[in-house]
């Protein structure tokens, strides 16, 4: 019986897609299979928001999040003759998504309690929202009070694309054709919008290079309590932004956790206080002057005195139990 089943399975699928071969029988066979299911973005595994206190990834939360993302992805309906998109609709019946935790958990291989814990965890990260309401049925009757679940697209995008460049996030809207009319969702350009875009572009370009050497940046970050590996990763990604935020740090309100604050400021590109902005501009002006005179820029970013000041501020915060 087993042999006949295997023979039937082999007969229904070719050994390789479209008659080609990869040179590996297993790869060719898997290429003929059609898998269905939720998507768990690989970047979620490295997101600190989705890690437990132990440092391990909350896998149950990612399973639940992947299912919620599936339910919030739109269904595109096309005309079967013209292939033109006729409408876009949601998958769930009511205005918001409702899930019975016990039934939902069974479909995901989780217990009701595991699903409840995962939802609570995701809610704390801000990637999903929970709202309370009732369902109004067709006969006019209303349900008991229920908890509805929603994805927070902005927060989820922030977590997922944290290290992506702004240009990678601002994709053009998809070209959609409905009812024979073509349209595209494009923001109208105005002189004011052009001025804003030019200023933002100039600010981004201004931070691509640092006049401070990497060892100085690394030492300054470590002085604030940032781990060596994290410091090196931040510098490798954008040394200019690291320098900007380190210069700004002494001019900001004292942070409860200096290390966490400076890492967040670098990743989210916090705007500089006026005093820090003037200092940052002066650093670059001085570096440009020396470059013109000597033919090469010398380090004039974070000075040893500034590193000592960062150490003192971090130490003072630790001693006061902040």
Closest by CA position to 147, among listed 159, 160, 135, 162: 135
**247, 283 Cβ separation under 8 angstroms:** yes
Using one digit for the tens of pLDDT, what is the confidence trace for 13-24? 455 555 678 888
Q: Is the pTM of this model over 0.85?
A: no
Higher pLDDT: 269 or 195? It is 269
* CATH architecture entry for 42-178: Orthogonal Bundle (1.10)
Using one digit for the tens of pLDDT, what is the confidence trace for 256-275? 788 888 888 888 888 877 77
Distance between CA 272 and CA 279 in Å, rounded? 10
Distance between CA 259 and CA 262 in Å, rounded? 5
Closest by CA position to 109, among listed 37, 189, 195: 37
Residue whose token pair is 């008659």: 19
Closest by CA position to 263, among listed 236, 313, 227: 227
Distance between CA 316 and CA 322 in Å, rounded? 9
Using one digit for the tens of pLDDT, what is the confidence trace for 113-169? 999 999 999 999 999 999 888 877 778 788 777 889 999 999 999 999 875 544 444
Q: Which part of the chain is CATH 1.10.10?
A: 42-178
Using one digit for the tens of pLDDT, what is the confidence trace for 47-98? 999 999 999 999 999 999 999 999 999 988 888 888 888 988 998 888 889 8
Q: What is the pLDDT of residue 48?
A: 92
Output phi, psi for 51, to 5 deg: -105, 145
């Amino acid at each position: 019986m087993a042999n006949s089943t295997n023979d039937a399975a082999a007969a229904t699928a070719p050994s390789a897609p479209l008659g080609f071969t990869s040179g590996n029988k297993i790869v060719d066979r898997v290429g003929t299979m059609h898998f269905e299911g939720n998507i768990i973005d690989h970047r979620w595994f490295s997101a600190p928001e989705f890690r437990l206190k132990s440092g391990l990834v909350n896998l149950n939360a990612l399973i639940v999040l992947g299912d919620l993302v599936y339910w919030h992805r739109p269904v595109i309906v096309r005309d079967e003759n013209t292939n033109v998109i006729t409408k876009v609709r949601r998958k769930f019946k009511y205005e918001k998504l409702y899930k019975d935790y016990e039934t939902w958990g069974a479909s995901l291989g989780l217990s009701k309690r595991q699903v409840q814990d995962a939802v609570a965890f995701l809610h704390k990260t801000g990637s999903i929202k929970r709202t309370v309401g009732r369902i109004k049925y067709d006969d006019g009757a209303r349900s008991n009070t229920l908890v509805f679940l929603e994805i927070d697209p902005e927060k989820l995008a922030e977590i997922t694309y944290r290290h992506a460049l702004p240009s990678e996030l601002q994709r053009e809207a998809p070209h959609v054709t409905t009812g024979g009319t073509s349209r595209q969702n494009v923001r109208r350009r105005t002189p004011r919008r052009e001025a804003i875009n030019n200023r933002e572009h100039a600010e981004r370009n201004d931070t691509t290079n640092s006049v401070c050497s990497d060892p100085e940046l690394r030492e300054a970050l470590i002085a604030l309590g940032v781990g060596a590996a994290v410091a090196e990763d931040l510098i490798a990604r954008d040394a200019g932004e690291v320098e900007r935020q380190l210069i700004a740090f002494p001019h900001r309100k004292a942070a409860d956790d200096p290390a966490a604050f400076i890492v967040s400021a670098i990743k989210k590109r916090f705007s500089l206080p006026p005093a820090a902005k003037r200092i940052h501009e002066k650093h670059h002006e001085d570096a440009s002057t020396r470059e013109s005179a000597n033919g090469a820029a010398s380090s004039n970013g974070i000075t040893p005195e500034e590193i000592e000041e960062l150490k003192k501020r971090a130490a003072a915060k630790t001693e006061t139990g902040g």
